[in-house]
Structure 1
Amino acid sequence: MPSAEAEISSFLKARRAALDPDALGLPGGLHRRRVRGLRREEVAQLAGISVDYYTRIEQGRAPAISDGVLDALAGALRLTGGEATYLRNIASHGRRTPDTRGPDDPGRTVRPEVRQLLHAMDGAVPAMIFGRGLDVLAWNALGGRIGFDLDAIAPDRRNSALLVFLDPAARTLHPDWERVAEQAVGALRAESGRYPDDPRIRAVVGELLDRSTEFRTAWEAQAVSECRYGVKRIVHPQVGALDITFESLRLAAEDDQLLVTYSAQEGSLTETRLRELARRVAVERVPAA
């Protein structure tokens, strides 16, 4: 992954290039501009800072940027909440203690009480725990079969982004694959900003940049997003199409872990199919006599 300075430069350039000067009431339309989007001096004017200072920020040559300036840049560039948080995170890299966590670090361990909760929801509510970098750390029996068969996947491959981009089954499983892929990239970039030195995140991003042209193109667009709730369409190989509602809840004691639950609208075909999937999973888990 690039250095913090390179991340700041790439992100700010991408965000100012994405803005429409006409929509912001700025003079000189596209036909008078050499590049799309805002010029550096326009961003500086909107943020209320000097052009020289903005240039140094965009080039990664401005240490210890104040929160006030970051907020002004977020407003000038019309950043979303997630994008503003990402900017703040990457701008503070130099003030952070390097993260040397390994794969066996306690942050990747799911507490027994949380596993108990997963088990209590089994048979009715598919659920799983996500850790840093979109790794799937734990799941109940139904959650492990709502999409990919997690029990059949090697531990180091149980990662949403790796599965979406590198597993051929993903495009059949997700009929709206492009949207799912876009969400995975946005969430992974948000994670990389939150935990810039995490070795697992760096390894996942590095592998995807090497192996997936589609990921590389999306990653270079610098999009940041975190979709914590919504509806996901899955074509399950056993029970057919599912329109699943998902909710993501951050665990209180482990702020880098998310509990994600899935449910169906009452009386819907998806609810019937989820019950059928739960029945099948229960039958498969009964020990042979």
Structure 2
Amino acid sequence: MNNRDEVREFLTTRRDRLAPEQVELPGGTNRRVPGLRRTEVAMLAGVSVEYYSRLERGNLSGVSEAVLDAIGTALRLDDAERSHLTDLARAANESPIRARRRSAPAGVRPGMQLALDSITAGPAFVRNGRMDVLAENALFRALYADLYALPERPVNLARFVFLHRDLAEAFYPSWSTSADINVAILRTEAGRNPHDRALQDLVGELSTRSEEFRVRWGAHNVRHHTSGEKVFHHPVVGELRMIYEAMEPMDQPGLNFLIYSAEPGSPSEESLKLLASWAATSGHPSPHH
């Protein structure tokens, strides 16, 4: 992934989406760009037009944290976008040898698997930034029964969404939202770890085989996937409406430990109990693999 191209396209897409009125600048109809002009961003960030133009052409070499912060404010970047811009700047200033030492974790410690197994009230799993599921509990495996029935290993949530569209659309009532989230997480990981060959291969595969992925990838949206609500439609127990919380292990940046929970007394809590019973009695395989 070419750093200059990534920087240029990220900054351009952020500038294009921002209307002058959103930053209290005059709009008007005589504008040749969909969003702000470079001169306007430079003014808002307090840098020269020449310097900002250099940055937007993809050259973040030597850029200071103060300038990155000013650009983030000028472009109204959220926390995930600011972190992504910082990651792009780090990659631009990092030696190739040191950068290649950073890789996505390939597995989890036995203690982390024990922690997953101790969670019995809701699905829980650990994934990396490539959306590979590295470990899970029995309820997560039962929740994603259709995915685990596929032969591909490691189980990858992005491949499921885009390359098994019929199963994914039946499972995710809001397929488009799930697709957006998956791509934003992958784009975030590409900024954090641009030399990850497995990630590059995955993006290339999905871009080749899915136009829906290709369009979303080109939008350069990023995301910190920390908490929220998701709705699933399981083929056996029906609708499951759950909240999720995600945590990053302190000594393994890049991993996410996610736990789903249903509201106490809700129909989804009863459905989770039914799912656990189904998993225990249907001969469903053990989560350890």
- TM-score normalised by the chain length of structure 1: 0.92
Instruction: Count matched residues.
Output: 281
- Pick closer, same or farther for the CA change 1:59–1:148 going to 2, 3 Å: farther
- Pick closer, same or farther for the CA change 1:88–1:148 going to 2, 3 Å: farther
CA distance in 2, matches of 1:26, 1:145: 53
Q: 1:4-43 residue pairs with structure 2 within 5 A? A: 4-29=3-28, 31-43=29-41
1:98 paired to 2:105: no
CA distance in 2, matches of 1:198, 1:154: 24
Q: 1:186-225 residue pairs with structure 2 within 5 A? A: 186-225=184-223
1:53 paired to 2:89: no
CA distance in 2, matches of 1:59, 1:44: 14
Q: Deviations over 1:266-288 (max 9, x none)?
A: 1111111110110111113489x
Q: 1:1-289 residue pairs with structure 2 within 5 A? A: 1=1, 3-29=2-28, 31-96=29-94, 97-99=98-100, 107-122=105-120, 124-156=121-153, 158-168=155-165, 169-285=167-283
**Displacement, 1:173?**
0.4
- Greater mean deviation of Cα atoms: 86-95 or 146-155: 146-155
Q: Secondary structure at the match of 1:125?
A: coil
Q: Is the 8 A contact 1:64 1:92 kept in 2?
A: no
Q: Is the 8 A contact 1:53 1:62 kept in 2?
A: no
Q: Secondary structure at the match of 1:52?
A: helix
CA distance in 2, matches of 1:222, 1:274: 36
Over the residues paired in the alignment, what is the CA RMSD in angstroms? Answer: 1.8
Q: Deviations over 1:30-84 (max 9, x none)?
A: x110111000111101001010111111112341211111111000000000001
**Displacement, 1:211?**
1.1
Q: Is the 8 A contact 2:123 2:259 kept in 1?
A: yes
Q: Secondary structure at the match of 1:108?
A: coil
Amino acid at match of 2:68: L
Q: Secondary structure at the match of 2:263?
A: coil
Q: Secondary structure at the match of 2:243?
A: strand
Q: Secondary structure at the match of 2:34?
A: coil
CA distance in 2, matches of 1:284, 1:175: 25
Q: Structure 1: which 5+ residue stretches go unaligned?
A: none
Q: Deviations over 1:132-160 (max 9, x none)?
A: 31111111111112134454334545112
Q: Secondary structure at the match of 1:74?
A: helix
**Displacement, 1:185?**
1.3
Q: Deviations over 1:106-130 (max 9, x none)?
A: x2111000111111223x2211111
CA distance in 2, matches of 1:255, 1:48: 34
Q: Is the 8 A contact 1:249 1:259 kept in 2?
A: yes
- Pick closer, same or farther for the CA change 1:279–1:148 going to 2, 3 Å: closer
Amino acid at match of 2:246: S
CA distance in 2, matches of 1:157, 1:225: 23
Q: Structure 2: which 5+ residue stretches go unaligned?
A: none
Q: Is the 8 A contact 1:157 1:163 kept in 2?
A: no
Amino acid at match of 2:73: G
